Chain A
């Protein structure tokens, strides 16, 4: 079935018109039917009384003829009825019920047999009437009349036609009037609907629906306008706050890029300008040691050695700071990284530098993560160096790197059996320049884990540690498969 034809798809204008016309049609039909019924009854009554009058006249006329049994006269009396065309048969009976005369041949429309009581009144197509002929209260005979109802039928038919015709005319008029009047109701609804549609399409919340009257429709339009005003206000606020947010973001971005430039300048000066005097200190200390050795006593030599050691530490510190600033500034690439071979390379380097390699190094094969390989190298280099360093005092040094992976990402576990740390200070672990051991226990800059933290955070990952003092530490690095994931 076509959707357009279903009631719910009708436009409201059509619905209103349809309902109005339905009611008016019903009303007009009822009026017409009642009029027809009434007319039918009135006409029948009229016809009945007319026939009664005719029959009475006939009875009066035929009384004498009946008494004198003058059939000739009776025939002439009854034949006068021929002029009334509705009467199809007229029969005259004597008092004994014997048929004396009839208007037409009896076989055309039969005269009733009076020995059995005939049915009088309206029948299918005829009205039958029997009146007694009396004289001085004495019944002399009977007159029977049979009238066809063709005239009644024709009359009612023409009446029905007229009623239907007039009804249709009135309907047409009402249709016109209803069409004009339905606008009173439908116009505000349509205006409201159009407004709503326009607002929905154009997103222009300054449009208002016209408010007409103080009825429900008027109130609906007014309420709708209020709602749109509220939306407009909220929209404006949202836009304003968005603008201010954008402004803030712009400001922050500008501040950030300024800070970034400053940091760049700073790191440059750290690497160049701070190194230069350090190199001078170290260089001249060494030159002093080599060129003026014979002029220095043991104490002087010791002082010189301390100067040189301090300059080396400072050099390391500067290098660490540079790395930290670099991993903070550089853009992070997202590429598949073969973590196993990366870790293996780092271990090989560490083994080649260090004097005593660990007893046991276990690196899980086929570990793969997503990230920036250079940065990850820095991070894992720091973690492995830590494991290296803090396990250096154990007899059996064991370093193990394993990984578990799920749909969200991979968790890499770097475990050693070294000195470990007190979980009390775990909060300070990843903060730059915070050290959990004295320089005499383990050397270090306090920048390594801060760098690890920075690298992993920039990969949208997490890093945390567990440890028990004296039993080693475990560092967990969680990296999402994609850098965009959090």
Chain B
């Protein structure tokens, strides 16, 4: 009896191992990752722990926009086609603020920091998840901001801003944040 249960568990385990191995291998390869590699992975992960209060139907893809100079180069390309909350991710690079409507996740590049107020106003109004590595981004009304503590990249969250934008943030994500503005 017990041996059969063990055998079942073993088979299950083997299956799980096989599935995860492919994913694992790519990650092992990127064990020593560049800053923006990590940030790109974080960006995707944020989308998975943040919910949009008025979500469009699952058929509509989740649009990730990079506003300003793209620091990721092609590092975000692997995100295309992956899913968050069942929605397929797609990538856009609007060149100006005016082109950014329709975005769901907005990465604000360093280059746009002087126009930040206007961008954040619009983004909040349009329920976008704003992410940036501009220093004190969250203090200025951004929702998620990358911070660097030593060599480790962490993030801060402005829960108030998220509330204004109509976003709910998973508490698990909040637990991981270096700082949460409430």
Contacts and interface: CB of A to CB of B under 8 A. Distances in A.
Interface of A: 60-61, 63-65, 67-68, 70, 73, 94-97, 114, 117-122, 130, 132, 135-136, 138-139, 142
Interface of B: 2, 5-6, 9-10, 13-14, 16-17, 19-21, 23-25, 27-28, 42, 45, 48-49, 83-86, 170, 172-173, 175-176
Contacts of B9: 120-121, 130
Given A63-B172, A114-B17, A117-B10, A68 B42 contact: yes
Given A97-B17, A117-B13, A121-B9, A64 B175 contact: yes
Contacts of A114: 17
Nearest to B13: A117
A61 B20 contact: no
6 contacts: A73-B176, A117-B10, A121-B9, A130-B13, A139-B19, A142-B16
Contact of A73 (B10, B16, B175): B175
B81 to A, nearest CB: 14
Contacts of B175: 64-65, 73
A132 B172 contact: no
A247 B88 CA distance: 136
B172 A119 contact: no
Nearest to A74: B176
Contacts of A63: 172
Given A117-B14, A130-B13, A135-B48, A68 B24 contact: no
A99 to B, nearest CB: 14
Given A68-B42, A120-B9, A121-B2, A96 B84 contact: no
B20 A95 contact: yes
A112 to B, nearest CB: 10
Given A68-B42, A139-B20, 18 more contacts: A64-B49, A64-B170, A64-B173, A65-B172, A67-B48, A70-B176, A96-B27, A117-B14, A119-B6, A120-B10, A120-B13, A121-B5, A121-B6, A130-B13, A132-B16, A136-B85, A139-B23, A142-B16
A207 to B, nearest CB: 68
A98 to B, nearest CB: 8
B23 to A, nearest CB: 6
B24 A96 contact: yes
Among A60, A61, A96, A119, max chain B CB count under 10 A is at A96
Q: Label chain A's interface by main secondary structure.
A: mixed
Contacts of B83: 136
A121 B49 CA distance: 33
Contacts of B48: 67, 135-136
Q: Label chain B's interface by main secondary structure.
A: helix
A127 to B, nearest CB: 11
A64 B172 contact: yes
Contacts of A68: 42, 45, 176
B55 to A, nearest CB: 15
Contacts of A139: 16, 19-20, 23
The 9 closest A-B pairs by CB, nearest first: A96-B24, A64-B172, A120-B9, A95-B20, A67-B45, A139-B20, A95-B24, A70-B176, A68-B176
A94 B176 contact: no
Contacts of A94: 24, 27
Contacts of A118: 13
B84 to A, nearest CB: 7
Contacts of A73: 175-176
Contacts of A142: 16
A67 B10 CA distance: 25
Contact of A138 (B2, B23, B85): B23
A113 to B, nearest CB: 12
A457 to B, nearest CB: 102
A230 B150 CA distance: 120
B2 A122 contact: yes
A122 to B, nearest CB: 6
Nearest to A142: B16
Nearest to B172: A64
Contacts of A132: 16
B45 to A, nearest CB: 5
Nearest to A73: B176
A60 B48 CA distance: 14
Contacts of A95: 20, 23-24, 27
Contacts of A120: 6, 9-10, 13
Nearest to B22: A95
Contacts of B25: 96
A142 B5 CA distance: 19
Contacts of A64: 45, 49, 170, 172-173, 175-176
Nearest to A138: B23
Nearest to A61: B172
Among B27, B170, B176, max chain A CB count under 10 A is at B176
A68 B38 CA distance: 9
A132 B9 CA distance: 12
B107 to A, nearest CB: 17
Nearest to A132: B16
A135 B86 CA distance: 11
